[in-house]
Amino acid sequence: MQKLFMALSLLSALLFAQIPELIQQYRQRIGSADDELNVIVSSFNEDSRRSGFDRAGTFGLMKKNPERLVREQGQRMEDYTGRLERLNSQQSVLANGVTLAAVLSVAFDYDAQIMSQARAAFTPAFPLTLTSVIFAIIGFILCYGPLLLLSSIFGSRERARA
């Protein structure tokens, strides 16, 4: 049983060691998406300003427009600006490197399109950066510790029955 626990824990360590590298891939892709969305939103803001509106006023005008195309373009631009704000927020968290906040941000609030692209381009390896080694140790402990605990609980029950 001990060998099985060790094998599962080593597998967990290898998987956890990939987290910093995947976050790096994701971070790079956020930068590219952020750059492109900034161009689109800045152009929209400039067009709005030249027409005498702020962004919110332009959205309001577009929502009231009888033309479906204009309403849908307005909704799309609203979606773009919201996505840009979310990406900017996440980029700020990721700027500090692979921290607990960065891991939680990517785990629970990732951009689906960017994560899909990052996963598709990701090639697993065992990087030997300090961060990856720390994540490998965490992965090992998170697997091995509970397995030992369960083993001791069920082992003590078996001894109690005997």
Q: What is the pLDDT of residues 23-81, one digit of tens each?
A: 888 998 999 999 999 999 999 999 999 999 999 999 999 999 999 999 999 999 999 99
Contacts of 161 (CB under 8 A, 6+ apart): none
Sign of CA dihedral 41, 47, 49, 53: negative
> CA-to-CA distance for 79 and 45, rounded, in angstroms?
14
Q: Which residues contact 91 (CB under 8 A, 6 or more apart)?
A: 27, 30, 31, 34
Is the pTM higher than 0.85? The answer reads: no
What tens digit of pLDDT does each residue of 122-158 get?
887 777 778 878 888 888 888 888 888 888 887 766 6
Q: What is the pLDDT of residue 159?
A: 60
- How high is the pLDDT of residue 97? 84
